[in-house]
Amino acid sequence: MSFFSNLMTKSPTAAAGKPAPGGAETPKAPTLGAAAEVGATPEKEIKIKVEDEPEEDPERAALEDQVRQRDSSISALEKARQEKQQELAQLEKELEDERLQQMKEALTHKIESERIKRQTQHAEERLKALEHDMQDKAAIHEYANLIKSVAPKTGADSQYVTKLQNQLQKAVKKMETTMEHMKEIEEAGKEQVEGLSKEIGQLVEDRCRTELELRKQMEVLQEQKSEMQLKYEERIRENLKTLKALRAKATAQVTIDELEEELMETESRLEELGRIHETQEKTIQTLNKSLAQENGM
């Protein structure tokens, strides 16, 4: 107790900063505010702030890196997919153009081949007719007689020659006129042929485009048909499974009904046996009573 009392008596003087018995002044104890001011240095503030921040989770950082890498890879794959899709569309367009051009050329070649065949057949017919005329001796003999009859006699005068020259000039003029008409007809025929060729080309292109569209529609319909066939086959399999399950369930239900009927029949038999047993017991009791009465008598 004396130690604690001395401590209590000395503490106010020490707190007040009064001189000690030795004459030396005791240092003042730092107050709470002073301690806070001394402790609030910039380094400690920075240290406190750094310590207050949450520590970085390595697993989370790794997951974030993986997510970023996947996002970048997905973006790259999407870009590559779009590029490939554009290339595919371009290739499909080129393929369609090539198919259209091939169909046009095939149809044009077919038309030209038929035309050449007709011309060849006509030329062969003319050649056969010419060969027949050249081999016809009677016709050759008649031509010779005709030339002899028209030919001038020996010592004919110059009037006959002049007449023949005039006829020849007239024939040449008619021939020139005929040639001019033939040229005009040929030019008109060329124009008509060119116009018809353009129309035929347009018709061929339209026909090829229509045929190509129909083929594409046919391919799409075939794909849809295959898909629908697969769907219906799957539905049929599912329906068969359901039907099988329903049949099994129906069979089980029938079995349960039969068991219930058998159980009811068994219960009815048991009830009947119980009634028979009761009747027999009553009969036995009656017989026992009658026997007891007879023994008592």
Q: In this predicted model, what pLDDT tens digit does every residue of 78-101 receive, in sequence order?
A: 999 999 999 998 998 888 888 888
Provide the domain limits for residue 131.
60-135
pLDDT digit string, tens, across residues 25-43: 444 444 444 444 444 444 4
- Mention every residue, 6+ apart, whose C-beta is less than 8 A from residue 48: none
> How far is residue 32's CA from residue 40's CA, in Å, rounded to a whole number?
12
Average pLDDT, the chain: 75
pLDDT at 154 (0 to 100):
54
Q: Please give the pLDDT value at position 207.
A: 81
Digit-coded pLDDT (tens) for 210-245: 888 888 888 888 888 888 889 888 888 888 888 888
- 181 confidence band (pLDDT: 50, 70, 90): confident
Q: Does residue 90 belong to any structural domain of this protein?
A: yes
Q: Cα separations (Å) of 212 from 108, 152, 225?
A: 16, 73, 19
Q: Classify residue 200: in a domain, yes or no.
A: no
Q: Within a domain: residue 173?
A: no
Please state the domain count of the chain. 1
The reported pLDDT for the residue numbered 83 is 92
CA-to-CA separations, 283 to 120, 122, 288, in angstroms, rounded: 129, 130, 9
Distance in angstroms between the alpha carbons of the first and the last residue of the chain: 119
In a domain, 157, yes or no: no
Residue 6: pLDDT over 50: no
Say how far apart CA 18 and CA 16 lie, in whole Å.
6
Quick check: is 197 in a domain?
Answer: no
> Which of 104-113, 178-187, 285-294 is predicted least confidently?
285-294
